[in-house]
């Protein structure tokens, strides 16, 4: 493909990436802000990965925490026991997450468990793993297991500020977005979208639902596992609470609020919602503990009531109107 044309066509994305890349430079001294930005990117990777299984394939997956935890524990344990660098460990962790996803996905999709039953099964995976690692003293246990710094901070991914983690996750975010676009442009994308729209209809047209959903689940689990490795290194310890049902539900919320199946939706929703949540926490947290959650819930309800298809269609229609105003006569783009 012509590189110049490619750059021009995706100018918005490159501008966004440039902003994201230089964002930390003026903020070196503001650790809280930097951690906040890092968390936004972390959640954005998870939510963008969720878009594949949730947004496209329409499976309400609530196991992001399970795959994240699996990646974290594998990466951390490899560093702790065998001094394997997390740069390699995170990929082994991601493969463990994939293994886990096959273990649950193969029977679940085989028995055609879907909708709310799939959601509950995937949520259960998270809880089951948390309890297992709580009992399993060799790698987990009820006390935190601290990660050492082996050789150098770079080798063991133990940086003292959030900035390096921000950049690592930013790379993962780009990877997750590119994977989304690639899938969307291939046969798998159409298979998943059809399954998400109407599973029975898609099956009788000749789509192997189990195979397609498993592919989506594996890619999602792999990305979550990678994030898990970085997650462990950022916090510097391992704890069974990493198998976090809250993260799982939040990731699904970002995916849904963003707009099901819209690639930039989860990213947009994560920026807005984590931003709003943290802002509220900072403003209201000092006065009344937990009040920010009430306001946060109201924001979610308003979106569900007035923009049930997510905020991304709203944004893209506004953008479209702007574009029409600037350059009239252009063809209307598809909302995805």
Q: Does 162 engage in binding with another protein (CB under 8 A)? A: no
- By CB under 8 A, the residues from 247 to 266 that bind another protein are 261
Q: Which residues neighbour 328 within 8 Å (Cβ) at sequence distance 6 or greater?
A: none
Burial of 290 (0-12, 13-18, 19+ CB in 10 A): exposed
CB-based contact 117:104 (threshold 8 Å): no
Q: Contacts with another protein: how many residues (CB under 8 A)?
A: 17
DSSP count for the chain of H helices, then E strands: 14, 2
- Residue 190 binds to another protein (criterion: CB under 8 A): yes
Distance CA 78, CA 65 (A): 20
Residue closer to another protein (CB basis): 110 or 275:
110
Nearer to another protein, 205 or 301 (CB): 205
For residues 206 and 290, which CB has a smaller minimum distance to another protein in the complex? 206
Using the rule CB under 8 A, give the single segment among 25-33, 148-156, 187-195, 273-281 that binds another protein: 187-195
Tokens coding 318: 């506004």
Residue partners of 129: CB distance under 8 A and separation at least 6: 66, 69, 70, 240, 243
Cβ proximity to another protein, 63 vs 194, nearer residue? 194
Minimum distance of another protein from residue 191's CB (angstroms)? 8
Which is closer to another protein, CB of 163 or CB of 316?
A: 316
* Residues of span 196-225 touching another protein by CB under 8 A: 197-198, 200-209
Rounded CA-CA distance 319/17 in Å is 19
Binding site for another protein (CB under 8 A): 190, 193-194, 197-198, 200-209, 261, 336
């Amino acid at each position: 493909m012509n590189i110049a044309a490619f750059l021009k066509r995706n100018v918005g994305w490159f501008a966004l990436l440039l902003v994201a890349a230089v964002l930390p430079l003026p903020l070196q001294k503001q650790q809280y802000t930097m951690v906040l930005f890092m968390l936004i990117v972390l959640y954005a990777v998870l939510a963008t990965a969720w878009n594949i299984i949730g947004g496209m394939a329409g499976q309400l997956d609530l196991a992001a925490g399970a795959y994240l935890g699996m990646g974290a524990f594998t990466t951390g344990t490899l560093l702790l026991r065998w001094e394997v660098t997390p740069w390699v460990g995170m990929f082994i962790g991601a493969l463990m997450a994939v293994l886990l996803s096959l273990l649950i996905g193969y029977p679940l999709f085989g028995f055609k468990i879907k909708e709310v039953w799939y959601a509950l099964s995937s949520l259960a995976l998270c809880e089951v793993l948390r309890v297992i690692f709580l009992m399993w003293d060799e790698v987990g246990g009820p006390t935190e297991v601290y990660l050492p710094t082996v050789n150098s901070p770079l080798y063991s991914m133990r940086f003292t500020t959030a900035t390096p983690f921000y950049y690592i996750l930013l790379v993962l975010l780009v990877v997750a977005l590119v994977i989304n676009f690639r899938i969307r442009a291939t046969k798998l994308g159409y298979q998943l979208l059809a399954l998400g729209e109407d599973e029975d209809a898609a099956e009788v047209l000749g789509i192997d639902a189990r195979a397609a959903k498993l592919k989506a689940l594996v890619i999602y689990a792999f990305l979550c596992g990678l994030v898990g490795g970085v997650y462990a290194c950022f916090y510097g310890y391992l704890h069974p609470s990493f198998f976090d049902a809250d993260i799982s539900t939040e990731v699904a919320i970002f995916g849904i609020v963003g707009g099901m199946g819209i690639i930039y939706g989860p990213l947009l929703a994560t920026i807005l919602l984590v931003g709003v949540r943290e802002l509220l926490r900072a403003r209201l947290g000092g006065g009344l503990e937990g009040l920010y959650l009430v306001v946060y819930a109201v924001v979610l309800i308003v979106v569900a009531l007035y923009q049930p298809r997510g905020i991304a269609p709203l944004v893209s229609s506004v953008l479209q109107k702007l574009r029409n105003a600037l350059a009239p006569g252009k063809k209307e783009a598809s909302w995805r």
